[in-house]
Structure 1
Amino acid sequence: MKTSLFLLFAFFISFSGYPFIQKEVYKTDVVIYGGTSAAVMAAVEVAKSGKSVIIVSPDKHLGGLSSSGLGFTDTGKKETIGGLAREFYHRIYQYYQEEETWKWQKPEEYGNKGQGTPAIDGENRTMWIFEPHVAEQVFEDLIAENDIQVFRDEWLDRENGVQMEGGKIQKISMLSGKRFEAEVFIDATYEGDLMAGSKVSYHIGRESNAQYGETWNGIQKEVFHHGHHFKSSVDPYLVKGDPSSGLLPYIQATEYGENGQGDNKIQAYCFRLCMSNHPDNRVPFPKPEDYDPAHYELLARVFETGWDEWFNKFDAIPNRKTDTNNHGPFSSDFIGQNYAYPEASYEERREIIAAHERYQKGLLYFVSNDDRVPEKVRKRMQDWGLAKDEFTDNGNWPHQLYIREARRMLGQDVMTELEVMGKKEVKESIGMGSYSIDSHNVQRYLTEEGHVQNEGDIGVHPKQPYSISFGSILPKEEECKNLLVPVCVSASHSAFGSVRMEPVFMILGQSAAATAVLAIDAKSSVQAVDYQGLEQKLLEEGMVLRLD
């Protein structure tokens, strides 16, 4: 079926004299909602399979976090990464073989450090660490080569935009008025808006450990795995020693609950910053208009304890740049300020994103300029700035906030830490994961002793790579028969902490697309797709489903 455009003229004559309204309807085999790395890989898989496909993306830039600052890839075990995901990292490798790619640094000056594998793996012709604009170009190349139609800056009408009939999505409508019809839909967003609009069940927050028989879900007070906690006693009050003066900014006064209990809170978000220390490619950190150093008093008190790990997560990417992530007790993670995000309106989400940007920009300026920051830190920080040649249409600031977790589907299967930790077998694998169960802090609270502490930071390594269940991308059939969800997958909070890595999202995007194609050929629901046929197709395309 070829992608076709139908111009439908709906004529509405109202008593108030409204003009005629023209609505565009686009019909295709598969519609993918989202602009993430999973969306791109899903679209490529559909196109290569001979079906028509449209990407409808709220984002103007494709690739999600993979092209928006997360260049220090969370690979886990690279041998689990196959299919189109591996093709992506192979293309990154090819790009950096060109001499002109190394504009700000010679290749031999680059340290070649990666996560669990060398950044440049010459033997396997893959490269796992990269600059944001390079990743975006690879995604755009894949789109162009496969002649994939992309509608950008198109936002689902979350109130009335999902039309269903007989348990299937018939069409989806955007706020712009555009409508899209398809046999199968894929929600490849970080938020799961199409999933939610289709009335598919989902969960937000942490389950109790008792719900799935887990250990690392729920509240984890006084559990410290990554060092992102207050290692020394830090006074939390506006006036030291005076509780009546109130708490410093960004400390929650609410009760945190008991260990193992579930809650509706989610792990912290941040922007993954691409910084440069090359004098000709560095934009000094500006002073935000509403900058208030009092917002960073808690960090100043951390420095007073002698803490000196500020630069520990300035991970090197090519051309004297970094992928800078959160590190320590007070850093780029805006702890506790994102709870409303998953269900928030678009306007409310924009406000939350803007608050994160203001917080992080103020943090950079504070550490670069405030006298309360140790001089050796402050002076070294002044050598850094935003990379001038990245995100050039957005003030050199990343396009995408790191939505580490939002909605998670309650699908046909629920992946839990039992599967991740190898305690429960996955029989129908559509890909593999291997990264640690990784949750950033969820809340910052006042201890019984009157000190400040963080909670929710978890890092537990599986003994070996694990398979991801086919049922984890499938809604329950009674809820929706033609939707696949490869990003907001059906997983518990702790399991999602491992699954949520960008290479895995690419893998699951390809698997979802392969499922969509088979469902169309069989004229069946996505849940009725024969797994043996899917398995054969994925293996033929170089996917890794299990390690023998």
Structure 2
Amino acid sequence: MRQADVVVYGATSAGVCAAVAAARRGLDTVLLEPGRHVGGMTSGGLGYTDIGDARVLGGMAAEFRQAVADAYGVAPGHYAGPEPHVAERIFLSWLERAGVEVVFGAPLGEVVTSGERIVSAGDHAAGVFVDASYEGDLLAAAGVSYRVGREDRALHGESFAGRREVVPGMHNFPPWISPFRADGTLLPQVADGPMAEVGAGDGGVMSYGYRVCMSTAPDRIPFERRPGYDEEHWELGRRLFRHWREQGVEPRAGRLVGLEPNLPNGKCDGNSLGPFSLSVLDRSAWAYPDADPAGRERIRLHHLHHAQDLLYFLSSDPEVPAAVRAELARWGLPADEFADTGHLPHQLYVREARRMLGETHLTEHDLVQGTPWPDTIAMGSYHLDIREVQRTWRYVYEHPDPVPMVVTEGYLSVGVAPYRIPYGAIVPRREECANLVVPVCVSASHVAFSSIRMEVQYQMLGHAAGLAAARAAGSGKAVQDVDVAALQEELRAAGQVLSL
């Protein structure tokens, strides 16, 4: 059994920052990563960094931003973000300089608890643990309460909670597209079963997908037909393009998968844009947070194959407009990214999984109204950004007979002013666990989490979590008893922004 002062589970950007922050204070720190890479989405395809108000960026998020600028010899913010391999290189250099022991290929293993404390996770014991995974696996195994999916509007009185109205918009399907084959069976990529009532909680999570890095470089890897590619799986896309053609709409390739050279060296971060995108909307992600490893792997491969096959479909299918196919032909997968995963990202974009029910639970009201938390450890500013939750169908009652139509539901974007994030949102309830800090699956409602979930916030919360873990491990205190005023002073000294 390896005994450490601090064990961090999950080498996301939050996990890297937490481990480095603790190790810089001289604590023996181990970072456990089930996969083979560090950085999570920051190095796993999400190169285009969503910041919000740059004034709230501080601490290790600002340090990372400066490191990116230094890597390219430009001013901070010159690029929207780094190339994936550059992001990972920066994180690895931080870990090495801080003396963090990184263990790859380290699944969580058995979590042993005693009273309200975690004793060990797998072969690693520690005084304090940090769960920096996107899924919240350590907190769940430790018996900490959590919630998955969107809640009922009545629970917290949130305006934007629960199932959303189906309204027109960039991410919704246009009307009149049928979800059915000629034999009356449902097309692939359309979820069956009724939607919950508007405002009701249904456990639905924001859709997942892969943020695919692409390039126009001469050595790019072309989008190829995958063994197992299913022509019928893409009939819904063909119907969408036929409808646009009939309506005189000429879709641009860049508005389908984000073909903008928004990263250094002419690369782009392929985003999920529009009604038919890299996001998978068939409700398969709803089962992911609580699925076992085999179930998660099936869901991950389902999403990976969707990304591969969408790019091939858009670049080759005769129903796709010729201009779109021609533009896709200029792009491919970069030869110098993700070499060990077929040039596709190593990280599934888990936009939301478990959310802890901690000492303080943030809701829409706290973000919209700007609650002045006295235990503030970081700030957020990105808008409430709930991505699509499902693509399903419903009858529209037209004369003389109802018409079945494909619909997309869940998208929401509402601006908020910069707001404070309290220490109580990253620690469990005292009676549930006294030596765990959680900087990713924070204690927040589905609506509030939709803003907090940005990578820069994870970096700042990871920074705070690492310093808090170090203080608790050094003193033997419960994480709930950490001197928050002293923690805030330490964060301010490291450049963290706690108020504007």
* Length-normalised TM-score, structure 2: 0.94
8 Å CA contact retained: 2:172, 2:274: yes
8 Å CA contact retained: 1:310, 1:327: no
Are 1:314 and 2:259 matched, yes or no?
A: yes
- In structure 1, stretches of 5+ residues that fail to align are 1-24, 98-119, 174-178
Task: State the alpha-carbon separation in 1 of the partners of residues 354 and 239 from structure 2.
Answer: 35
Aligned match for 2:346, one of 394, 399, 410: 399
Partner SS state of residue 181, structure 2: strand
8 Å CA contact retained: 1:414, 1:492: yes
8 Å CA contact retained: 1:224, 1:458: no
Shift of 1:364: 1.0
Task: State the alpha-carbon separation in 1 of the partners of residues 51 and 106 from structure 2.
Answer: 31
Are 1:58 and 2:5 matched, yes or no?
A: no
The alignment-based identity, stated in percent, is 40
8 Å CA contact retained: 2:127, 2:476: no
Aligned match for 2:413, one of 453, 459, 463: 459
Partner SS state of residue 195, structure 2: coil
Task: State the alpha-carbon separation in 1 of the partners of residues 474 and 314 from structure 2.
Answer: 58
Task: State the alpha-carbon separation in 2 of the partners of residues 343 and 330 from structure 1.
Answer: 27
Are 1:480 and 2:433 matched, yes or no?
A: yes
Question: 2:36 is matched by which residue type in structure 1?
Answer: K
Shift of 1:523: 2.2
Task: State the alpha-carbon separation in 1 of the partners of residues 499 and 154 from structure 2.
Answer: 29
Are 1:206 and 2:150 matched, yes or no?
A: yes
Are 1:524 and 2:468 matched, yes or no?
A: no
Are 1:379 and 2:355 matched, yes or no?
A: no
8 Å CA contact retained: 1:439, 1:494: yes
Partner SS state of residue 251, structure 1: coil
Question: 1:532 is matched by which residue type in structure 2?
Answer: A
Number of the residue aligned with 2:98: 146
Number of the residue aligned with 1:326: 272
Task: State the alpha-carbon separation in 1 of the partners of residues 213 and 390 from structure 2.
Answer: 26
1:412-491 paired onto structure 2 within 5 Å: 412-422=359-369, 424-449=371-396, 450-462=404-416, 464-491=417-444
Aligned match for 1:249, one of 174, 188, 191: 188
Shift of 1:424: 3.6
Report the structure number with the largest CA radius of gyration.
Answer: 1
Are 1:172 and 2:117 matched, yes or no?
A: no
1:293-304 paired onto structure 2 within 5 Å: 293-304=231-242
Are 1:542 and 2:492 matched, yes or no?
A: no
8 Å CA contact retained: 1:205, 1:265: yes
Shift of 1:367: 0.9
Aligned match for 1:230, one of 166, 173, 183: 173
Aligned match for 1:94, one of 64, 70, 84: 70
Number of the residue aligned with 2:135: 191
CA deviation vs aligned residue, 1:249-307 (integer Å, no higher than 9, x gap): 12122110111100112111110001111223x10111011111211111111112225
Is the helix fraction higher in 1 or 2?
2
Shift of 1:524: 1.1
Question: 1:91 is matched by which residue type in structure 2?
Answer: A
Task: State the alpha-carbon separation in 2 of the partners of residues 444 and 129 from structure 1.
Answer: 30
CA deviation vs aligned residue, 1:39-70 (integer Å, no higher than 9, x gap): 11011111111211110111210000000110
8 Å CA contact retained: 1:90, 1:126: no
* Length-normalised TM-score, structure 1: 0.86
- In structure 2, stretches of 5+ residues that fail to align are 397-403
Aligned match for 1:79, one of 55, 61, 72: 55
Question: 1:371 is matched by which residue type in structure 2?
Answer: P
The structure, 1 or 2, with the larger RCO (C-alpha pairs under 8 Å, 6+ apart) is 2
Task: State the alpha-carbon separation in 2 of the partners of residues 169 and 292 from structure 1.
Answer: 46
- Cα separation, partners in 2 of 1:224 and 1:543, compared to 1, 3 Å: farther
CA deviation vs aligned residue, 1:406-433 (integer Å, no higher than 9, x gap): 1100111111111111254333211011
Task: State the alpha-carbon separation in 2 of the partners of residues 256 and 245 from structure 1.
Answer: 20
CA deviation vs aligned residue, 1:202-237 (integer Å, no higher than 9, x gap): 000101111111111110022456x11113431222
8 Å CA contact retained: 1:206, 1:263: yes
8 Å CA contact retained: 1:224, 1:457: no
8 Å CA contact retained: 2:162, 2:202: yes
CA deviation vs aligned residue, 1:54-87 (integer Å, no higher than 9, x gap): 1011121000000011010011111111111111
Number of the residue aligned with 2:400: none
Partner SS state of residue 408, structure 2: strand
CA deviation vs aligned residue, 1:421-471 (integer Å, no higher than 9, x gap): 125433321101111111111111212211111001111110x10001111
Partner SS state of residue 349, structure 1: helix
Question: 2:482 is matched by which residue type in structure 1?
Answer: V
Shift of 1:326: 0.5
Question: 2:329 is matched by which residue type in structure 1?
Answer: Q
Aligned match for 2:293, one of 340, 346, 351: 346
Question: 1:314 is matched by which residue type in structure 2?
Answer: L
Runs of 4+ in 1 over 3 A off after TM superposition: 124-128
Partner SS state of residue 534, structure 1: helix
CA deviation vs aligned residue, 1:11-55 (integer Å, no higher than 9, x gap): xxxxxxxxxxxxxx1111100011100011011111111211110
Number of the residue aligned with 1:35: 11
Partner SS state of residue 84, structure 1: helix
Q: Number of paired residues? A: 484
- Cα separation, partners in 2 of 1:261 and 1:310, compared to 1, 3 Å: farther
Task: State the alpha-carbon separation in 2 of the partners of residues 410 and 193 from structure 1.
Answer: 14
Number of the residue aligned with 2:243: 305
Partner SS state of residue 92, structure 1: helix
Number of the residue aligned with 1:111: none
